[in-house]
Structure 1
Amino acid sequence: MKSSLLYICAALALSGAGPATASPSQPEAPQTIRLVSEDVDRFWTAYDAVRATPDPDEQRRLFQTLYLDQSTPGLSAFMAAKGYTIDNWLHAIRRYPRYWETVRPRTALAAEALDRTEPHLERLRALYPGLRPAGVYFEVGALRSAGTTQDDKVLIGVEMATGDESVDISEMPSGLQRFFQTYFASRPLENLDLLITHEVVHTQQTGDRRTLLAQALYEGVADFVAEKATGRLPDLPYVAFGPANDAAIKSAFRHDMAGEDFSGWLYNGPGGEFGVGDLGYYVGYAIVSRYYSLSPDKTEAIRTLIELDYGDQAAIETLVAASGYFDE
């Protein structure tokens, strides 16, 4: 994949910059964000070199020089956000060669999602006129994240985000196999436009999220606003399971929500008390949707949700109280 420019006519207008000089008879040029995807090609070059030698020291040298030393700011941000080290990649390459060989042709398909993403970002701009620019970086990680953000960067792990049931996970331990079976059943490539939109919302949010409630609300806002922009939610188990089991989930979440342990509610895969992962996303979404439904000014409600300081626990508790979610 090569670097390219994704043109978004009004979706990501530059915040805080003066207007471009233009002739009155000429329309303003569309604003752009840069899609950076060359790290994907660099990864596969490094992968081939690593697989061609059995010497661990040479593998390390090759991967470092061919991939990490030439990284874009997106890859550097991805490493920082997910705690990646060279050992994470080398371990995954050595342990799961069938995975890499079967996912490889699919990683080239990620760019197709951008055509579907453009109208969503235009809609997002209409919902939230203060939208700031966000770059989209396609990266190859080491099986920890299909999508995350750091500051103004959307970071997509294409080795996960483009997979499906054809990808060979047979060399993985049973727990990881269960995770990927569930995840690939959600058709991540078909929903990559939704993921990108969700992550763009995250680039607009601020605040150090210390409690489970704050983190759940942070994710719930991204799910809710992305749904408003795209017309759908992700095809993941928590979306259907949550509403059907709301009372029990609410009771259990209330017990944990002031704590700093997210492991039973977020980024946890299947398992736990309910046998369904990421139920914190559902709780956050349920709070947000109730807050929005009760707000007379929908544009102001979206602005409040996105611009909430997620590090301000008092502000979070005020918004949650206004939703009435825990009163039901």
Structure 2
Amino acid sequence: MRRWALAISLGMGLGLGLMGASALAQTSPIQLEDGDVARFWTAYDAVRAADTPEAQKAAFQRLYIDQGTPGLAAFMEAKGYTADTYLNAIRAYPAYWDSVRPRTALATGALTRLEGHLERFKTLYPELRPAGIYFEVGALRSAGTTQGDKVLLGVEMATGDASVDISEMPPGLQRFFASYFASKPLDNLDLLAVHEVVHTQQIGERGNLLSQAVYEGVADFVAEQVTGRMPDLAYVAYGPANDAAIKAAFRRDMAGEDFSGWLYNNTDNAFGVRDLGYYVGYAITRGYYDRAPDKAAALKTMIELDYSDPAAVQAFVAASGYLAD
């Protein structure tokens, strides 16, 4: 098990279990934990060696799930993972797992960049609250998500590239992974981590598409301010080039609760580009920031926006000017 303390002045501690910080310390580190990755591969080998489905499940439960960190428990809850979810993915795509295995060890290389980013984040937003960052192995449902104060990074996806064997997957998944790996997720793992750290700072449940798009757009915008770059994903380039059509279509859907055409989706939508809701949310956030006379206050407002307050979200969007007629 490896742990790194990122020495950033964050005031109160994360909690005794993850932090282990001295009561006398003047700073509280953000800690990155990657021990679950090695445990997964130990369990994986035991599953591949087991003779029966029952023995496979018992081995995986004992060696991975039962010994996992709070980050693994949170990841499983957030993405609906069970032992059977993992075992089904392992049995269905052995070539994927065997080819991605050596790449998962590369995830920790993002640490050096991440430390500098978090120091800058603290400078831009002094109120930054601690958040544990966990490297996990999931079952191909998420490269990154959050639960509470935990950033959860799925390295079986986030470290992939064109060398990973996706040939056993159905055509739709092959298209998704080919496109995703073309975006160089390992090179952008530090950027993804910062995006997810932003989510740990945000509050309030999102009740409609507009709120969810702003929620993601704020995370993209703040991560850009912290790291100096945006992810190499299709919506980043496609959005500005097709802004008028995207804006018109988004206005029609933004009050609804159906995200499927805009967020966390595939390319089966009117534009043939996934996740354009991120672009809209980013454009709203950028508009708000550009119009604000006090940039530090604008950054604080966007991070602390309460998504459970529709009036506050509407005021933020209106102040951006982006959706104005």
- The equivalent of 2:37 in structure 1 is 40
Q: Which amino acid aligns with 1:114?
A: L
Contact 2:14 2:28 in 1 (8 A): no
Matches within 5 A, 1:1-328: 2-10=1-9, 12-14=10-12, 30-327=27-324
User: Distance in 2 between the 1:325 and 1:7 partners?
Assistant: 37
Q: Which amino acid aligns with 1:94?
A: R
CA displacement, residues 134-161 of structure 1 (integer Å, 9 cap, x when unaligned): 1110100000000001111010000001
User: Distance in 2 between the 1:214 and 1:104 partners?
Assistant: 37
User: Distance in 2 between the 1:63 and 1:16 partners?
Assistant: 29
Gaps (5+ residues) in structure 1? 23-27
User: Distance in 1 between the 2:76 and 2:57 partners?
Assistant: 16
User: Distance in 1 between the 2:4 and 2:184 partners?
Assistant: 26
Contact 1:212 1:261 in 2 (8 A): yes
User: Distance in 2 between the 1:110 and 1:91 partners?
Assistant: 24
User: Distance in 2 between the 1:323 and 1:133 partners?
Assistant: 29
User: Distance in 2 between the 1:158 and 1:286 partners?
Assistant: 29
Relative to structure 1, the CA distance from residue 83 to residue 21 in structure 2 (aligned partners, 3 Å threshold; closer, same or farther) is closer
Q: Which amino acid aligns with 2:240?
A: P
Q: How many residues align?
A: 319
Relative to structure 1, the CA distance from residue 57 to residue 172 in structure 2 (aligned partners, 3 Å threshold; closer, same or farther) is same
User: Distance in 1 between the 2:156 and 2:186 partners?
Assistant: 11
Displacement of 1:7 in angstroms is 2.2
Root-mean-square deviation over aligned CA pairs: 1.6
CA displacement, residues 159-206 of structure 1 (integer Å, 9 cap, x when unaligned): 001111100000000000000011000100010110111111110001
Q: What SS does structure 2 have at the residue aligned with 1:79?
A: helix
User: Distance in 2 between the 1:220 and 1:231 partners?
Assistant: 15
Displacement of 1:5 in angstroms is 2.1
Q: Which amino acid aligns with 1:9?
A: I
Displacement of 1:84 in angstroms is 1.0
Contact 2:214 2:285 in 1 (8 A): yes
CA displacement, residues 57-111 of structure 1 (integer Å, 9 cap, x when unaligned): 1111111111111121000000111111112101100000000000000101111
- The equivalent of 1:25 in structure 2 is none
> Scaled by the length of structure 2, what TM-score is found?
0.95
Q: What SS does structure 2 have at the residue aligned with 1:235?
A: coil
User: Distance in 2 between the 1:318 and 1:228 partners?
Assistant: 22
Q: What SS does structure 2 have at the residue aligned with 1:169?
A: coil
Displacement of 1:21 in angstroms is 8.6
Q: Which amino acid aligns with 2:150?
A: K
CA displacement, residues 255-277 of structure 1 (integer Å, 9 cap, x when unaligned): 11111111110011223110000
Contact 1:15 1:130 in 2 (8 A): no
Gaps (5+ residues) in structure 2? 16-21
Identity %, equivalent residues? 66
Contact 1:123 1:229 in 2 (8 A): yes
